[in-house]
Amino acid sequence: MKKILFFTLLSCLFCAQSVNAQMAALNEAKYITTLKVVVDHKMKDADIVDDVAQLREHQKFRQDLAKMLQKLDNSRPNEAKNRKIMKILERTGKEIYNELK
């Protein structure tokens, strides 16, 4: 009887950790998605729409941006730079999510 109770409690503990990990991952995705949607929306803001259009045509900026993006690699999410960028994005997305909520 004690063994059954022990294994039941142990399995509940593992399930709770699994649920917590899933919720954390879901929150990370929620914040990143919020950030992307807000940025996409603000790119159409009347105050910056002309500047954004000019940047899209600016060759040097596009080259610099391409070089920066090469430093990020989604296939290696545990690389230090990728982790740092993701933390910044998550933190910013969380701030925006909480501000708009």
pLDDT tens for the 101 residues of the chain, in order:
566 655 565 566 566 556 666 777 799 999 999 999 999 999 889 999 899 889 889 999 999 999 988 888 778 777 888 889 999 999 999 999 999 99
- Do the beta carbons of residue 3 and residue 65 sit within 8 Å? no
- Domain assignment present for 65: yes
- Domain assignment present for 47: yes
- Domain assignment present for 4: no
The domain of 39 spans 25-100
Q: How many domains does the chain have?
A: 1
Angle, helix 80-100 to helix 2-42, in steps of 10 degrees: 80
pLDDT at site 15: 60
pLDDT at site 82: 86
- Domain assignment present for 53: yes
What does the CA dihedral 48, 51, 57, 60 come to, rounded to 10 degrees?
A: -120
Neighbours of 95 (CB within 10 A): 13
The SS3 call for residue 100 is helix
pLDDT at site 9: 59
- Domain assignment present for 2: no
